Each structure stands twice: as structure tokens, then as C-alpha cells.
Amino acid sequence: MSTLDPPFSDHLQEDELTPDQNGDFISSLPTAGFLSQYRGFWITTRSMQGVLSLQKHFQAQETDIQMMTPPKVGTTWLKAILFAIVNRKHNLDLQKHPLLTNNPHILVPYLDLHFYNQKEVPDLTFFPSPRLFSAHLPYTLLPTSVKHSTCKIVHLYRNPKDTFVSLWHFLKNNGRTTDSFEGTFDEFCQGVSSFGPYWDHVLNYWKESLEKPQKILCLRYEELKEQPSTHLKKIAEFLECPFSSEEETKGMINDILRLCSFDYLNKLEVNKSGTTHNMKTESLFRLGEVGDWVNYLTPQMSKKLDDIFKEKFHGTGLTCYILFACLYYCQYLC
Ligand code: A3P
């Protein structure tokens, strides 16, 4: 890890930077491998330009839907689900559904990597409402207009052990690390992971969702796996487009779940090869199961994560969810 003194921080705020100064500002940030430390979070350096620009320029609309997730918690899956729910009336013929020919990351683009990574400010006003966007941004780094408008935010989290194991495979498969499994684990435990510390990402949205349940919905990967139809209905209600009884009778919820399932998406040609946002598409669909961490983490590593998350989530109401998922699946698999 190399640490540099940010030369700008003493005299210039980020929102005062001209586009030409962004690069100097970014290279002045402390770094760890491919990450840059920015306002308490480890942001992938390739996202930094987009993060700065979208913080400064993005104007939320009241009807926007923002998907904000830490990496490796099931973002791709949730993108498919949200897209299918929100656009279901235009895609009644499932044989022609856009998900059959587009990776979910194309249908629900990353704001920072897709739109705001250029020097010019993009014009997103032409997008039909409701606009469906995503980013991995922690709550504290959201553009002010997102926090203050009535737009909806959907957040997803996952038990930290599976999140870490998924992250490890992703980094390896995409050539983003030469570190050992143990070294990457130690960094994760120190909070040094993409858009981490992971616990702060989860905790910040969780706390905000308790205060603003109409604005922020926090979902858990394991819950989505356990009770998918219940959660699909919950998501649709939160987004103010609930399934009608006619839609339910016609089996639309099950249709969407099947379309977005790991087994279905994973086998589509569009998700088997190529790249999206510089990620190997196939690396987004690895196993899609709960509890795979038992095959990778030693009992000591598992305990270390338990201890960290017990401490970080103490008194928040979140500990029991996280630990429940870990313990339940450990017993289940043993
Ligand atoms: P694993 O590596 O544990 O298999 P993200 O989309 O945030 O990068 O998260 C990737 C994780 O979500 C991977 O987990 C991937 O297999 C899993 N995933 C992708 N699509 C899924 C789906 N349709 N259903 C369930 N899990 C899915």
C-alpha cells in the first residue's frame, strides 16, 4: 500500500476542480493496488473520474430508481430483477425479452463507469421515466440530489463470507490481483476492498433505510434466494408498481424469477462470453449459491469475520441477520 499526501485537500474542494484537475486530484489520493481511498472508502481507481463527475453533476429525478450495492453481493441478479419488474408491461412476450440478448449491466448501466467517465457531462434527461441506474456508491458519497429527491434507492447486501469469496474469484478471473487469498482476506478485514469497508457500505444504507423506509429498501441476497416471490412483490410495492392480482394469477412473478434465475441467465450466449464494463461477463455468474465460503475460509478466518462484524454491527439490529445467514448455512452444509 502506498500513501501519498493529497496536495489538493488543503486548499481545494473536489467540487471546485475543473475536469482537467480531476486526474491530478485522483492521483494524489492514497492507493492500495487498484483502489483509491476517497472520503473513507476504497473506490476502484478506474471509477474515480466518474464518481467525482456524477457527484458534481448528476441531477436526480423524482421518479428515478437507483440501485446502490457493494460489489459481489448479487448486483447482476438484482439488475435483471429490477429491469424485469419495472419494464414488465412492455415485455409481455418473454421470448423477445431484452434480457435474452443483453447483459443486465447493459440494461441497468453504471452511472460512474458508463455515463460519467468522460470529460463531458452526459445528458440523461432523454431517458424514459422511471430511469433505472446503478453504482456501487456508499451512501455518504451519493450526489446530494439523490439524497434529497424522492427517488427510490434499492440496496443489496450479502453475508460477508460469501461476499469475500465471490470477490476473490472475481479479482482472480479478471486479472485484478496478484495477491494471495490470505493477503486479500486480510485487506478485506481491514476494510480495503472495492467500495469498502464492506461493513460501512452495508451499515450506512441500513441506518438510512430505518429512517426513510419509503426511500431506501435494503435487501439481503440470502432472503432473495430463500423467498424469491415474497421479495419480488416487496420490491414491486416499494417501487410503487405492485403486481396486480391478474398479473399474479397469470404467473408473472414466477416468469420473472425464472427469467432472472442463475441457471437461466448463466446459459444465455450474451452472458457466456465477452466483456462488460471491462469485466469478463462469465465471471459475473460463478456459482450463485449461499454458503460456498465453507469451501474456502478456514475456521480461523470465519471466526475473524464473525468477530469483526459482531463488533461493527453491535447494537444496530444487523448482526443477527448476518450471523444467522452464516450459522444457518454452515449447519446446513455440514
Ligand atoms: P458467487 O461468486 O458466490 O457465485 P455481483 O453481481 O454483485 O458481481 O455478484 C456476483 C455474485 O452473484 C456471484 O456470486 C454470482 O454467481 C451471483 N449471481 C449472479 N447472477 C445470479 C443470479 N441470477 N442468481 C443468484 N446469484 C447470482
Residue 186 covered by a domain: no
Residue 204 covered by a domain: yes
Residue 261 covered by a domain: yes
Name every residue whose Cβ is closer than 8 Å to that of residue 247 and which is 6 or more positions away in sequence: 88, 253
Is it the case that residue 279 has pLDDT exceeding 80? yes
Whether residue 256 has its Cβ less than 6 Å from ligand 1: no
Cross-strand bridge partners of residue 66: 133, 153
Residue 86 covered by a domain: yes
Percent of the chain exceeding pLDDT 90 equals 79
| Residues spanned by the domain of 98 | 57-180+196-288
Measured between alpha carbons, how far is residue 138 from residues 55, 184, 200, 201 in Å? 12, 21, 8, 5
Whether residue 185 has its Cβ less than 6 Å from ligand 1: no
Is it the case that residue 245 has pLDDT exceeding 70? yes
Q: Which pLDDT belongs to residue 101? A: 96
Cross-strand bridge partners of residue 220: 157
Residue 278 covered by a domain: yes
Q: Which pLDDT belongs to residue 178? A: 86
Whether residue 265 has its Cβ less than 6 Å from ligand 1: yes
For 15-29, 60-74, 320-334, which range has the lowest pLDDT when averaged over its residues? 320-334
Residue 157 · residue 70 · CB < 8 Å: yes
Active site residues: 136
Residue 116 covered by a domain: yes
pLDDT digits (tens, 9 = 90+) for 292-324: 999 999 999 999 999 999 999 998 888 656 655
Q: How many CB atoms are located within 10 Å of the residue 39 CB?
A: 12
Whether residue 75 has its Cβ less than 6 Å from ligand 1: yes
Out of 277, 286, 292, 333, give the residue to mutate to test ligand 1, the one with the largest number of ligand atoms within 8 Å of its CB.
Answer: 286
Whole-prediction pTM: 0.93
Three-state SS for 269-332 is HHHCCCEECCEEHHHHCCCCCCCHHHHCCCHHHHHHHHHHHHHHCCCCCCHHHHHHHHHHHHHH
**Total domains in the fold of the chain:** 1
- Residue 102 is classified by DSSP as S
- Which residue is closest in CA terms to ligand 1's atom 24? 262
Q: How many CB atoms are located within 10 Å of the residue 221 CB?
A: 24
Residue 283 covered by a domain: yes
Residue 216 covered by a domain: yes
pLDDT digits (tens, 9 = 90+) for 159-206: 999 999 999 999 999 988 889 999 999 999 999 999 999 999 999 999
CATH of the domain at 248: 3.40.50.300
